[in-house]
Amino acid sequence: MNIRDAEADEFPFIREQRVHSYEEHAHSIPQEHWQALKQAISSEADLQENVERIVAELDGSIVGSVALFPAKTDAYEGLVGELDYPEIRMLAVTPHARGKGVAAALISECMKRAKAQGYPAIGLHTADFMVSAMNLYERMGFERLPQYDFEPADDGIIVKAFRLILK
């Protein structure tokens, strides 16, 4: 597996791949929530200054991606205040590449970069309907920070905050 920075000409493909990767949730959540999620993961929020866009390749093809937002930025477009640590966002792995360690490799790369930049922690947000993701984050040692939760679509689905202290 090759983990590398995304090239600018790959951004449109990565956004499409994110939506495809998240589509499995479209029928298990209210339509309004799916639309809010789809808008968030296909937006150009990751083009903010100093956001690191990272991809995972298997056999020369991009099979996953993640955006690492720097500390003290508006990673959630006004839904959460600025945090004192980098935030993992828009983690996506294509369905055919799941179970091969792609998500863990992308998260580990984000952790490595945050630590190299001198941050003591890294965070992320996710929702209960993303069962596999929640399990992975908990296995990797992320802990809940409910004070940074938010409800993007006013539908009762809470996007939960997590943080990992980097060692």
Domain ranges of the chain: 2-165
| pLDDT greater than 90 at residue 76 | no
Question: What are the Cα distances from residue 82, in Å, to 52, 66, 70, 85, 89?
Answer: 17, 19, 10, 9, 14
Q: Give the pLDDT of residue 150.
A: 87
| pLDDT greater than 90 at residue 126 | yes
**Tokens, residue 110:** 């984000």
Q: Give the pLDDT of residue 77.
A: 62
- Rounded Cα gap, residues 147 and 118, in angstroms: 24
Q: Report the CATH architecture of 2-165.
A: 3-Layer(aba) Sandwich (3.40)
| pLDDT greater than 80 at residue 124 | yes
Q: Give the pLDDT of residue 68.
A: 97
Q: List, as one string, the DSSP characters of 35-75.
A: HHHHHHHHSSGGGSTTPEEEEEEETTEEEEEEEEEPTTS-T
Q: Give the pLDDT of residue 167.
A: 82
